[in-house]
Structure 1
């Protein structure tokens, strides 16, 4: 057997600390701006951030944290949280970001399952920490992200982050680590059963940062000021805290105030060019801007993901405010980016209506992600934009198995996402539903996402969700649940008529229910499991009619 000829290149590991070290050395004066819990704006540079991240690494080592141990965060998007991202991982420990919006019992489960050594928390979460601490006896200490003057009154003994930092000089060299060592631990939102942990590596994190920064992905550059509205506790803010220092982009971190007015004022004040978040956040921002009659002066691009971006929202951003929408799809198990809606050279020369149709989809896979759709018995389906099946993915930042689970979820080396999708001839992915949310009517499938997108395009609708209701003849039929826009009026009949000519007749919902608000998960997604429970006993008018007809056919009185 011939011995392979190896390349003669430096063997430099791909480690997370190298991202911040690069920014400190080559974009050292670029600003990181944070709206603090204390109420003011904090400013410093990448150079300052690396210095303080090194102080944090020293402080954690002094507390006895060993490489491989987990250190958790319960925090908003801010400079101290960013320091934790790098200070924890920089010496080989694992940064475990916790979503504070989960139920307390779920958070306690996550902390105990991860076996967290310490938990760093923003002071707004002091009551939550007091509730958690008795349930998490293995946590060695709780560290408040504040100085002594701003420590909250608590039942739980806590350490001051700034006091720990002040005891260290930052004279610390980032160690060379095995790039396959664990870097971050992120748990799924746990909509069914207990949350599951996705344990990333340094290698996967750095490769994901490269992939996210590509021109046909997030397309970040040193000329951008980027404001991640997506929380740093939600899948590492989609990789922006890593892609921004890789490119040298200015970072603007919004803290806890994510209402439309606060976001708009911060964007304008810091001349933000780029942002990212879930549709529910943008709904609040767009409502504020419409009511206030204001425009953006600097924002030109935004990534929308977490759940499908309604076409009406895409058109509002682009037509009314001149902001390019980049529709994205991914999941915790993918670090999270998978696809982004960027047109090819050839697509960009098609009629505008065709371009818009493509951009409403979730987009093309970025390098590092491969995907396929499969039908019955795992048979791969064609990329024709018509055939739809279960979406499977693979790549260097896709999980192999869940944290502390021996069995692998992979099928023939591919990760089954749980999404139902089509892929067209251009390679554009279109998520038609989650497999658990698709409506099975008379043996045919109806996309709840497509039904929702039509409803949201109605000027009187603020939010909409489509769920399946039981039906005696068709097994399931769609029920549309709607939140009216403030001050607007629309009836059931008017909404159902709005669907005519926009979808197949048999896709039109059988009924409409109006509510004051829709339930959302901790990450802003529609909580359809809860909606199905709320409307479990809802009887569709068509179901009553079919029951009546069936009864008459049997000769029974009605």
Structure 2
């Protein structure tokens, strides 16, 4: 550390902490009458949002929540979840967004590991909480969310959310405190061992929000999210703060539409009726919305969609683009809050025919400001930025988790050498664009060569008869591993391995695929296994489809 010149502040100068409460100021200031919408059930203004957050803070304090306590949230995407995103951290407590799609055993583990004290729970998850009640070691009470008439429960419920808010004081003075205080906590959905707790501070969330706000508003080539847009998340709010966009949308003061439980037809209806212009989701949900009844009959023009969480195939991207959706890709992970990279298109790119834009839109993108990103070999040395040389993606940014909760050894492995290790293999081309080729654990090693399962999936997806595809490596006595492809066919279409090999031959002929990488093992299935957040579950595929 070098010696620099530091000047002491004037007496009485205010040291401005970066706290989540600051993100509320501009939205209500500039757009007090703008709407917050909860599915087809409720709508209110930003002025009401501010009041409800203050009422919720008073409810939490009355329930005994103190600074440093952890409050669990089990809900679908709703206005209530948005209120919790602010009120819980703003009183100095920590918000634990519980992944409601985990198994009961995993949820029990995460809630005990987080030491949740108070639980805010939707009626849909009351049976789960009743099942786990005797095993939740630190929970002292529950507040229930009801969309209909509350049903009976054996839980020690402090009250129903709306009734408690209505009875609470509408004013609350949110204090200043250390900006490095923990604000949020959630658990990764790893494929081995128990879920790991990832945590973020007020400072990290504010910096991520401001950076994401600027990046989305000034995205290369065309803006994605500005004051005139309408936002609807299609990535669960329990997963990486819905990519942090609810904080961005609230800071902008734009109309926000929260869909509740994800149902493809309802999502498309809300898009159409509420005039949504910006969303983010995983490829699985994009495909479900394109294939559902409402999706087939609705004009989707003007819907800007950022895809992340898992690789977007060229075939699916082409289908969505042909329907009028403006496709972009973002790259990040649970540990990175999450945004690291975003599609960046030049004016020249945007002037290209749509079919030529699609390959550019499905790359991981360019690192956003304040992100230091490297591609390194096994010795930690940088590889060439030639679009071909592969290595692990390692990163630094001011909003990355600093470890795993109560797991110092795993945290140290995550940060080995002072860089966060993503576990992703990628390359960077001459334009600075990152391409993720595979997870290190998913790359297929055959005869001393590497095959990217992601690249194979994208090529197979371009067959007009393929609805979806997953590729994994399976053990092979001669070559070490061989690629195995699971293929779901378009309804009414029958494919066989020969027709798939003939489709892939064009990529062998043009040099984009090695002949030995064409899968010799193809299985046609009705459905591809997914994880709790909609990613392809390759671990389960390897276990259940071993040769």
TM-score, normalised relative to structure 1: 0.91
Q: 1:235 aligns with which of 213, 237, 240?
A: 240
Aligned counterparts of 2:470 and 2:259: Cα–Cα separation in 1:
29
SS at match of 2:417: coil
Q: Cα offset for 1:177? A: 2.2
Q: Cα offset for 1:458? A: 1.6
Q: Cα offset for 1:152? A: 2.4
- Closer, same or farther: CA 166–2 of 1 in aligned 2, 3 Å: closer
- The answer for the alignment partner of 1:553 in structure 2 is none
Asked if 1:532 is matched to 2:542, the reply is yes
- The answer for the alignment partner of 2:227 in structure 1 is 222
Aligned counterparts of 2:280 and 2:295: Cα–Cα separation in 1:
22
Aligned counterparts of 2:248 and 2:494: Cα–Cα separation in 1:
44
- The answer for the alignment partner of 2:317 in structure 1 is 314
Within 5 A, what are the aligned runs for 1:354-503? 355-407=357-409, 408=412, 409-502=414-507, 503=513
Aligned counterparts of 2:397 and 2:272: Cα–Cα separation in 1:
38
Aligned counterparts of 1:334 and 1:89: Cα–Cα separation in 2:
19
- The answer for the alignment partner of 1:199 in structure 2 is 199
Aligned counterparts of 1:150 and 1:167: Cα–Cα separation in 2:
18
C-alpha contact (below 8 Å) 2:427/2:434 kept by paired residues = yes
SS at match of 1:231: coil
Q: Cα offset for 1:41? A: 2.3
Q: Cα offset for 1:10? A: 5.3
C-alpha contact (below 8 Å) 1:221/1:248 kept by paired residues = no
- The answer for the alignment partner of 1:66 in structure 2 is 66
Q: Deviations over 1:124-178 (max 9, x none)?
A: 112111122121031011211138x722222323232223222311211221122
SS at match of 2:394: strand
- Closer, same or farther: CA 2–306 of 1 in aligned 2, 3 Å: closer
Q: How many residues align structurally?
A: 529
Q: Deviations over 1:261-291 (max 9, x none)?
A: 2111111110111111111111111112687
- The answer for the alignment partner of 1:332 in structure 2 is 334
- The answer for the alignment partner of 1:185 in structure 2 is 185
Q: Deviations over 1:16-52 (max 9, x none)?
A: 11112332222211101112xxxx4210011111111
- The answer for the alignment partner of 1:170 in structure 2 is 170
- The answer for the alignment partner of 2:100 in structure 1 is 100
Q: Deviations over 1:339-377 (max 9, x none)?
A: 111124565567876644332211001112211111121
C-alpha contact (below 8 Å) 1:308/1:449 kept by paired residues = yes
- Closer, same or farther: CA 250–291 of 1 in aligned 2, 3 Å: closer
Q: Deviations over 1:163-215 (max 9, x none)?
A: 32223112112211221111111210132111111110111101111121222
Q: 2:530 aligns with which of 520, 530, 547?
A: 520
- Closer, same or farther: CA 427–508 of 1 in aligned 2, 3 Å: same
Aligned counterparts of 2:470 and 2:351: Cα–Cα separation in 1:
34
Q: 2:515 aligns with which of 499, 505, 526?
A: 505
Aligned counterparts of 1:209 and 1:458: Cα–Cα separation in 2:
39
Aligned counterparts of 1:436 and 1:501: Cα–Cα separation in 2:
28
TM-score, normalised relative to structure 2: 0.93
SS at match of 2:405: coil
Q: Deviations over 1:375-424 (max 9, x none)?
A: 12111112111101111111101122111223422122100001111111
C-alpha contact (below 8 Å) 1:126/1:152 kept by paired residues = no
- Closer, same or farther: CA 237–351 of 1 in aligned 2, 3 Å: same
Aligned counterparts of 2:176 and 2:120: Cα–Cα separation in 1:
25
SS at match of 1:404: coil
Q: Deviations over 1:504-552 (max 9, x none)?
A: 211111110111211110000001111111012x2xxxxxxxxxxxxxx
Q: Tell me whether 308-317 or 415-424 shows the greater mean CA deviation.
A: 308-317
- The answer for the alignment partner of 1:31 in structure 2 is 35
Aligned counterparts of 1:498 and 1:418: Cα–Cα separation in 2:
31
Question: RMSD value over aligned CA atoms?
Answer: 2.0
C-alpha contact (below 8 Å) 1:259/1:281 kept by paired residues = no
Asked if 1:20 is matched to 2:19, the reply is no
Instruction: Give the gaps of 5 or more residues in structure 1.
Output: 539-558
C-alpha contact (below 8 Å) 1:95/1:184 kept by paired residues = yes
- The answer for the alignment partner of 1:161 in structure 2 is 161
